[in-house]
Amino acid sequence: MAGLLQHLINGLAEGTIYALVALGYTMVYGVLKLINFAHGDVMMVGAYVGYAAAFVLGDGALGSLWGAVLVFLVSILFCGLLGWLVERFAYRPLREKPRLTALITAIGISFTLSYGFQLKVQPEIAGKKVTLLPGADPRTFPEIITPAEWVTLHVPAPAPAPDEVDPAAPHDAADDFVEIIIWNWQVISFVIALALMGGLQVLVFRTKFGRAMRAVSHDHRVAALLGIPVDRVIALTFMLGSALAACAGILYAIKDTLIQPMLGVQLGLKAFVAAVIGGIGNVQGAVLGAVALALCEELVVGYASSSWRDAVAFGFLIVVLLLRPQGLLGRVQAEKV
Amino acid sequence: MPETLGTREVKPPLLGVSGVEVRYGAIQALRGVSLSVGQGDVVALIGANGAGKTSTLRAVSGMLKPTAGTVQLAGQDITGQPAHTLVGKGMAHAPEGRGIFPNLTVLENLELGAYLRSDKAGIAQDLERMYGFFPVLRERQAQLAGTLSGGEQQMLAISRALMSRPKLLLLDEPSLGLAPQVTQTIFRILREVNAQGVSILLVEQNAHLALGLAHWAYVLETGAIVMEGTGQALLASDDVRKAYLGE
Ligand SMILES: Nc1ncnc2c1ncn2[C@@H]1O[C@H](COP(=O)(O)OP(=O)(O)OP(=O)(O)O)[C@@H](O)[C@H]1O
Ligand SMILES: [Mg+2]
């Protein structure tokens, strides 16, 4: 019971972060029919920019609300800009080219970012050593939220086996319960992720821009005939996905405390799998797929072995694709000619 | 020079297409098409499969860049301008295959037609006008457009195009695949829309219907205009009757 509860909490925390990244994959696929393999790396960049922002703000800002908000904002803006640059200069010129060209470009950008961030760039500016890129070693992410226990749950402990009980020992009431701590940062992360997903849901399904985005996603030529500026909609979609990835990067860094340049490749792949499981191109599907995947992983790690973790992700993917090739919430769509 | 039957009433020009050529890779789809639509006109463009009717509309609405020739709208050169910039200049194109967004609701489809407008009251008024034309759309406004029948989808496509309050409406085979009764309803509404001041460039395989509605019509054959005239004159022409009316 206690174990299960703990796994559910962990799974949800992980799942909401997967979801924020998966949303970026799915939105970009929606408007461009392109798997943006660089998306996970944008998330990694988001974590590093958050790291740099916290570093520049200094210890005084750590744990304060404005400090945390600034860290998020700087990272969102930076990644938004990065997403815009990638779309504008890498993908847009290839839009009418065979899809494979853009796919290879995406992988190239992914490599450039994930390996580029392994370089150590520390030029001396005005006599001071300034770190621009910190190198391949993992870095400890500053505590922008001071950890505190939010609630402590006392869950009945499993009864010990009779032969383990020493009848002579006095009964200790503390042994009847297991403590499960829910930390403040877990709650804050969860709320931020939910708020972002809720906001995105409203944007996509309740606003004019969202309508335009869904129209472009279905047929950009017809969308243009209605006066929709397709290029701008695609650029904004990229920026939006990148901003979500920035948030995911920071939330991940808060949770895991360590960041390193390959972070985006690993987490990005999981999030991509989640998006495909949910039905690529489908916004609710991405969230569902992400949470389902994370829970699945967490349960397998908890009850089987942690070395199965990655196998689960792909096993789950294969099972879903066999049973529902379009993903959990995806629609079957005739290939357009 | 194409053969001309009947005389054309002189009206101030709205659309002028001159010597337009279009290629798809090695295929030349249009070899110098010239035509015009006057203000308040219904102009029909008829022709066999693959004659280049759709390509002509695409070149006009900016979906395709012509490799030669010019397109003018209300005296302004719009050749090669991207499609999304032409809506604001008064052009609306209901494309071949209807192009509705199946996973958006009927209402969302209609609202997208008014994408560039911000006059809420005017949009609401036009929405009512569309529901007046096609009451079935009001009944189905909350439904996904993909669940509509073919005829209803065509009604939606036309209404969505009209939601931008165009001066010129381009229609690509609105009767395709529809029951005769539905086609009649649609053509009755087109007549009404035209009476309210919207000029129409109509592409049709159903030459009978198109020529009956059109003030002026062009016959397109393998990428070139071979004949033009009043709708009535073409309907009466033996060549047209043989080639396009199956008589
Ligand atoms: N996307 C394309 N790629 C290559 N060739 C094309 C394309 N679209 C049209 N064509 C060719 O261009 C010519 C004109 O096509 P178009 O669609 O304009 O004709 P149409 O008169 O509209 O025919 P239909 O009555 O079948 O709709 C045809 O030979 C057609 O095969
Ligand atoms: Mg056609």
In 3D space, the residue among A72, A89, A74, A73 whose CA is nearest the CA of residue A38 turns out to be A89
**Nearest-angstrom CA–CA distance, B173 and B62:** 18
Contacts of A331 in chain B (CB under 8 A): 103
Provide the shortest C-alpha distance from residue A89 to chain B (in Å).
20
Ligand 1 centre to CA of A124 (Å) is 63
Place of tokens 């009956």: B212
Residue B241 is encoded by which pair of tokens?
């009757």
**Which residue in the set A211, A215, A222 is minimally distant from B95, CB to CB?**
A222
Query: Taking 60 as the threshold, does the pLDDT of residue A4 lie above it?
Result: yes
At A154, the pLDDT band (50, 70, 90 cuts) reads confident
Provide the shortest C-alpha distance from residue A127 to chain B (in Å).
53
At A92, the pLDDT band (50, 70, 90 cuts) reads very high
Provide the shortest C-alpha distance from residue A270 to chain B (in Å).
28
Domain of A85, in residue numbers: 20-159+185-276
Percent of chain A with pLDDT over 70: 96
The answer to the question of residue A202 being in a domain is: yes
Span A224-242, average pLDDT: 96
pLDDT of residue A331: 73
Ligand 1 atom 18, closest CA:
B52
Query: Taking 80 as the threshold, does the pLDDT of residue A253 lie above it?
Result: yes
Contacts of A208 in chain B (CB under 8 A): 111, 115
Task: State which residue of chain A sits closest to B113, comparing Cα positions.
Answer: A226
Residue A320 buriedness (CB in 10 A; 0-12 / 13-18 / 19+): buried
Query: Taking 60 as the threshold, does the pLDDT of residue B178 lie above it?
Result: yes
pLDDT of residue B101: 97
Provide the shortest C-alpha distance from residue B118 to chain A (in Å).
11
Per DSSP, the three-state class of B135 is: helix
Pairing of strands B68-73, B76-77: antiparallel
**Nearest-angstrom CA–CA distance, B10 and B216:** 11
Ligand 1 atom 1, closest CA:
B24
Residue A266 is encoded by which pair of tokens?
């690993």
Q: For the segment B81-92, what is each residue's pLDDT rounded down to a tens digit? A: 999 999 999 999
Q: Which residues contact A240 (CB under 8 A, 6 or more apart)?
A: A24, A27, A80, A200, A203
The answer to the question of residue A165 being in a domain is: no
pLDDT of residue A332: 64
Residue list, ligand 1 pocket, CB within 6 Å: B 24, 27, 29, 47, 49-55, 205
Per DSSP, the three-state class of B107 is: helix
Query: Taking 50 as the threshold, does the pLDDT of residue A337 lie above it?
Result: no
**When comparing pLDDT for B105 and A302, which is higher?**
B105
Average pLDDT, chain A: 89
Domain residue ranges of chain B, discontinuous segments joined by +: 12-96+166-244
In 3D space, the residue among A20, A27, A33, A25 whose CA is nearest the CA of residue A214 turns out to be A27
First to last CA, chain B: 26
At A336, the pLDDT band (50, 70, 90 cuts) reads very low
Task: Please tell me the total count of domains within chain A.
Answer: 1
At A333, the pLDDT band (50, 70, 90 cuts) reads low
**Nearest-angstrom CA–CA distance, B232 and B217:** 9
Span A289-302, average pLDDT: 91
3-state SS string over chain A? CHHHHHHHHHHHHHHHHHHHHHHHHHHHHHHHCCCCCCHHHHHHHHHHHHHHHHHHHCHHHCCCHHHHHHHHHHHHHHHHHHHHHHHHHHHHHHCCCCHHHHHHHHHHHHHHHHHHCCCEECCEECCEECCCEECCCCEECCCCCCCCEEEEEEEECCCCCHHHCCCCCCCCHHHHEEEEEEEHHHHHHHHHHHHHHHHHHHHHHHCHHHHHHHHHHHCHHHHHHCCCCHHHHHHHHHHHHHHHHHHHHHHHHHHHCEECCCHHHHHHHHHHHHHHHHCCCCHHHHHHHHHHHHHHHHHHHHHCCHHHHHHHHHHHHHHHHHHCCCCCCCCCCCCCC
Type of residue found at B6: G
Q: For the segment B153-167, what is each residue's pLDDT rounded down to a tens digit? A: 999 999 999 999 999
Ligand 2 centre to CA of B204 (Å) is 9
The answer to the question of residue A227 being in a domain is: yes
Helix (H) or strand (E) holding B156: helix B150-162
What pTM was computed for the model? 0.91
Span A32-59, average pLDDT: 93
Query: Taking 70 as the threshold, does the pLDDT of residue B247 lie above it?
Result: no
In 3D space, the residue among A107, A125, A6, A131 whose CA is nearest the CA of residue A56 turns out to be A131
Q: Phi-psi category of B25—alpha, beta or left, where left has phi over 0 and alpha has psi -120 to 50?
A: left
The answer to the question of residue A335 being in a domain is: no
Q: Which residues contact A125 (CB under 8 A, 6 or more apart)?
A: none
**Nearest-angstrom CA–CA distance, A298 and A139:** 25
At A176, the pLDDT band (50, 70, 90 cuts) reads confident
Ligand 1 atom 31, closest CA:
B50
pLDDT of residue A335: 41
Span A238-243, average pLDDT: 96
Contacts of A221 in chain B (CB under 8 A): 63, 83, 95, 99
Q: Which residues contact B116 (CB under 8 A, 6 or more apart)?
A: A227, B87, B88, B164
What is the dihedral sign for C-alpha A216, A222, A223, A229? positive
The answer to the question of residue A77 being in a domain is: yes
Query: Taking 50 as the threshold, does the pLDDT of residue A309 lie above it?
Result: yes
Report the range of poorest mean pLDDT among A135-139, B53-57, B89-93, B105-109.
A135-139
Chain B: residues touching A (Cβ < 8 Å): 61-63, 82-84, 87-88, 92-93, 95, 99, 101-104, 108, 111-113, 115-116, 160, 164
Span A243-249, average pLDDT: 96
**When comparing pLDDT for B42 and B237, which is higher?**
B42
Span A17-22, average pLDDT: 94
- CATH domain B12-96+166-244 topology: Rossmann fold (3.40.50)
pLDDT of residue A181: 86
A contact test, residue of B54, B64, B84, B100 with most A CBs within 10 A: B84
Ligand 1 atom 12, closest CA:
B29
| Contact indicator for A272, A26 with CB cutoff of 8 Å | no
pLDDT of residue A81: 97
